Amino acid sequence: MWSELRELQDGQDLGTPPRDGVEVTLSIDGVQVSVPSGSSVMLAAAMAGRSVPKLCATDTLEPFGSCRVCLVEVEGRKGYPASCTTLVEDGMAVRTDSEKLRSLRKGVLELYLSDFPSEDIVGGWSEFHETLKQCGVDSHPYQTGANHLASPVDTSNPYFLFDPAKCIVCSRCVRACEEIQGTFALTIDGRSFESRVVAGQDQPFFESECVSCGACVLACPSQALVEKSLFEEEYRHG
């Protein structure tokens, strides 16, 4: 459902914006692919038919590299770089799937789920849920600790609502407000666990500089920002 709401071309999100440069050829999981220089490894993987799991990346926004789900292995390099911020190079050999990568992604997604409404994990239709399915993750091993699950839902805007309990702080809404609309109405306030999306000067959306353009709603991958028209009755978790 999320791809229809996003109005994705052919139902596919390339992860990062297309570039215009001299073509370079690289290998993605053994598949040769040629893409313009300046392209990301994530985009090259998509063009090669290898979908890399992601959350903060989308082809309508510049790469950000914060979610750490799109990690890959590059032959001859140490570590596990984010494919959305790693640029292609001629002759590069990339692996998008391995036991280590699956383990790393699972650990990251389990941390996200530890602060996400448990009743909304199974059966959800957001991009976040599609990524969970892609990585085979539907639970987490952590006990209940500090969380944002009781955060009040902001229903002030007549067209959409914001449920902080479902926010994964990927910054896509903030970046969409800046890069697409140019309103700069949204920011990330706080650090680490205290990080949260705020509108204006920590105001309800409708009282802030928000112009109700909907760019943030289209960009949100986790149903934290969602159109009210999708709910026939009063909004609730689940």
Q: Is this model's pTM higher than 0.85 or not?
A: yes
Q: What is the mean pLDDT of residues 69-76?
A: 98
Residue 3 has pLDDT above 80, yes or no: no
Which token pair is 14? 């390339």
What would the pLDDT profile of 8-57 be if each residue is shown by its tens digit?
445 689 999 999 999 999 999 999 999 999 999 999 999 999 999 999 99
- Walk me through the domains of the chain, giving residue ranges and CATH numbers: 2-101 (3.10.20.740), 160-230 (3.30.70.20)
Predicted pLDDT of residue 99:
98
State residue 8's pLDDT score: 46
Average confidence score pLDDT of the chain: 93
d(CA 190, CA 102): 30
Query: Where does the pLDDT of residue 231 fall: very low under 50, low under 70, confident under 90, or very high at 90 and above?
Result: confident
